Structures are given as structure tokens and as C-alpha cells.
Amino acid sequence: MKNPILHALRCCALLSFLFGFISYAQNPRSSASKQHSGNGKGSPKQVDIYVAGSCYNENTQKRTAVYWKNGQPVALTDGQNDAEAVSMAISGNDVYVAGNSLGQGVYWKNGQEVKLEKDANASNHAYSIMVKDGDVYVAGFYRYRSSNGDWHDLARYWKNGQLVELPIGGNNFSYATSIAAVDDDLYIIGSATDNHDDLYWKNSQKLETINELKVVTGISQLQGNVYAVGETQSGQPAYWKNGHTESLSGIRGVTTCNAVSGNDVYVAGVDDSNGNGYTLDGRGYIDEGDIGKCWKNGQLLANLKDTEYTIYKPLSMAVSGNDVYIVGYATDGHNIAPPKLMKNGQTIKLAKIEGSSWSETNFVISSEAGENRISKQNRAVTKNENTNASPNTVNEGLSPKEKEANDFFEENKKRPGVITLPSGLQYEVIRQGTGPKPTISDQVKVIGAKTIMSGKEVLSVNKYDSPSIAEIDMLIPGLTQALLLMNVGSIYKYYVPPKLGYPQQKSHGVIYIFETEMLEIVK
């Protein structure tokens, strides 16, 4: 855990420039509620493994939303628009998949698309799906622009495609990243980035906590038992079952997902066994220096590392017989890679659809879990934004890096030519173009350079030699605001403060500086 970048670098290896800024690739997962017999009698039941993700075409620079059943791909979109599948639920013979396409959250039931309700000038994003009593629930967020021009992301869920509001306590940036049912109660887990808060709802009412765990990253009902994963009050990785907490390590860490097979309980997460440090000013976070772990019945089963990749943050898991499948954020030891799927600690590659260059996995579930699948918080998530907070907010309670970041923006706004927006975004006009301006629903072709800082420390500087295509409404708020300011032909340099950065990301003080030329609006 050497630097505080979690999602910021993850996609750079995947899509080069602006696709590297899409914060939602990163993906939260599904759940639901009915009881499984699990009696172990009779013939072994066929267990199918489902994986949600996408296949990327280098020529078109677009992803096709895909799920795999036992390794065989099933395309959900035609590849004409950029799309991804992020979560799944299995109910009887029906397969449900949540995903996103061109700023539109959707779900598919047996391949048939249902759009999530939104206004014409807004966008939305799906993170997690579950099915209960024939009703389909999707958790995510709703993005809109207020009358004063500020952007807001609001935690929301949808029931059968219809929008349901959640109380968010005045936060401007909040995200519902997982959804689950326990008996007749509906639980949602999320976060607000205004104050880096974890958020919990039960039956649409906001809660301070769900159980005795300090942080709950997922809750589920599996085979009649209620489970939660997260960390203890003293910061150790643990899981909670029917009111009892079992710590999995004596050092700091957190669990992020679990699965049950028969009488065996599997949990995945991370702890600070590598000694690189797990806290930032007393708050835990996960980064690419960590090594994910899997525990079985409270005992360490495996480190999630093979000769090629390390999963540093597990996102979801499934079990079939003695085989354990885990999807998580990964690194090859040098660079962040797209999320990987491991089977028994070894990376496995899934079949690509025709014409694609590679595949990306976001979520795994088994048919045995069915409607009892764990719901989990990710991209923990993945989050960090506050469009109404100016960079000179009071520094009390902030980490040293956050204070440095605030000081940077205070100093930067005094420079000639630097314009500061009410949201905190700062920019300079290097060249003003004369072409049209994009709208939030547009895709744009851009080229430029990127600098990433932690406080006042420069972490990386990259210049991109070839252009990339990005969907404006799929970007983090700071980038969305910046690109909507530009005409085609413009070159702007803009400074994105931490609170306009990646949602659900718990690292702090991260500044992004981009010098971007807008080449065209892609129709």
C-alpha cells in the first residue's frame, strides 16, 4: 500500500488516455434472498459459473457487454456503442445482468434489455443487481446538472427499471454500490465522497451502521444464514454470521466478498501481511501494493498471486465443488491491469467474442448461489467527489496529503490565466477552438498528457501519442465538467481536485492535471 491511487491507474493499461479516467469500470456486485437447501444429499447438482464483463475491440475502441457461462461468451450488445456488464443474478432458469452503455444504466433479462429510468438530460449508472420475488432491483447512481450548473451524483436504486430515491443527508456525490435482501428487508450499501463516508440503507431508510462491524462492505443471505463482510472496530478483516463476528487476521485489513458451499464459508479480502502499511491517517485503503487473500472456514486458503498477476482487491467470488473463483483488481507487478479472474489462485483467460482484442471481467457468481448471492461494495470504491466544495475547504480532519492538495489549489488559483469554478475544478485555456461544444451524451476524440499527484508529490507524468475516444457521461465529474467547457479544436489544461475524482475511492489527496486537445465529436 505504497500510494493512494486505487482506480486512477487501473484503467490506464486498458484504454490509454481518457478511458483510463472512467471510474465505474470498476464494479460492485449482485445479491438476493431466497433460501438454498444445501443438504448435500443425492446426486451432485450441476453448478454453473457465470462471469460478467466486456470484450474490447482495439479497432473501434469500444467494449461489448458480455457474460460468460462456464467459459462460453454471450454478447449482450452489438459492439456499436461502448458497454459493459458489471453484475449478475441468477433466479431459476433466468439470467439477469446489470450494465452500462453510453451513460445509460440497463439490465438484461435473458438477453432482453431494460433501461433504467432517467430524465433526458441526465445519466445514470448501474453497479449491482438482485432479484427477489420476481422483482428486479438495481443499485447505482443518478447524475444530473442543477440550475446553477453544478453536477451531482445521487445514490439511487431502481425496481423493475423505475427510479427510487434514497435519503443521502445533503451529500452532493453519493453512490449505491450494492443491494441485497435479507428475509423481507432490502439493504443497500454505498458511500458519499463529500466526507468520505460509508452509507447504509435498510428499506430505503438511512442507517448509521448495519451490525457490529466498523465497516460493512457486503451483506447477504446464503443458505438461510445472514453474512456480512468488512472490518472490525479495531480494523481487522472479518466476517459476520448470524450475529457472531469472526476475525480472520490479527493485523489491519478488510474483507470484500464471500461465498458459501455446503457447510464451508469462503471469504476474500486483504490484510497488511506485506508490511507496506494499511492506513492513511487512521483510515484503511487498498492499493496495488497489496496481495489479496482467500480464507476458508476462518483459515487462510491462498494468496491471490500467481506468476503473472496479483489480485490486490477481490471484488466477487464463487465456489463450485473444490474450485474457488475470484474476480478482482489486478497488477502484473509493474502496471495496473484490467480486473482478472482467478481459479484456485491461478489466472484464467476467458474466450473472446469475434473481433475483440481482449476481455475484462467485473463479477463472478455461481448458479448454486442463485438468488442468495452476496452483495458487495466495490470500487470502493471505489469514491471521492464534492462539486459544491471549494478547494479551500477547512483542513480540519484531513490527512496530510489532503491538506497539501487543498494548499495546491489555493496557490494555483492565484496564477494568471487560471479559472476556478464553484465546483473546485480549475482550468487554463491554452488555445480556444472554434468548433462545436459536445453535450453530455456525446463521445469525443481527444489527445494530450496527464500528471498524477498525491498532495504536492508528483507520482507520474504521461504523454499520449495517439488519440482516444471517451464517453463524456461515463467520466468522473471533474472530467465531465472540463470537456463540456471545450469547443472542438480547443486545448485546455485543467486541474481536478480530489473531491472531483474517482467515486468510492478511499485514497485521498490525489490531484489529476490534464492538458487535452479536443479533436472531434464522434457520432
pLDDT value for 383: 32
**Rg over CA atoms, the chain:** 21
Q: Count CB-CB contacts under 10 A for residue 155.
A: 27
3-state SS assignment for residue 366: strand
| C-beta of residue 196 within 8 angstroms of C-beta of residue 233 | no
What is the dihedral sign for C-alpha 160, 73, 328, 400? negative
- Grid coordinates given for 402: 489532503
In the DSSP assignment, the letter for residue 475 is S
By DSSP bridging, strand 162-165 and strand 174-182 are: unpaired
Q: What share of the chain is helix, strand, coil (3-state, %, to 5)?
A: 5, 50, 40
Per-block mean pLDDT, blocks of 10 residues, the chain (523 long): 40 36 34 37 70 90 93 94 94 95 92 93 92 95 85 93 91 90 93 80 91 90 90 92 91 92 93 62 60 94 94 93 93 84 94 87 83 38 34 53 88 88 86 88 89 85 85 81 91 89 59 93 87
pLDDT value for 44: 56
Global pTM exceeds 0.85: no
Residues of the chain with CATH 2.130.10.150: 47-368
| C-beta of residue 187 within 8 angstroms of C-beta of residue 205 | no
Select from 290, 208, 283, 282 the least CA-distant residue to 2.
290
- Grid coordinates given for 436: 462545436
3-state SS assignment for residue 215: strand
Select from 187, 234, 196, 215 the least CA-distant residue to 374.
187
Residues of the chain with CATH 3.10.50.40: 400-522
The verdict on whether omega for the bond into residue 81 sits within 30 degrees of 0, i.e. cis, is no
Query: Which CATH code fits 47-368?
Result: 2.130.10.150
| C-beta of residue 324 within 8 angstroms of C-beta of residue 344 | yes
> In this predicted model, what pLDDT tens digit does every residue of 360-381 receive, in sequence order?
899 999 887 754 443 333 333 3
- Grid coordinates given for 317: 467470488
Architecture of domain 400-522: Roll (3.10)
Sheet containing strand 135-145, edge to edge, reads 31-32, 123-132, 135-145, 151-159, 162-165
Please name every residue paired with 175 in a beta bridge, in sequence order, or none if there are none: 191
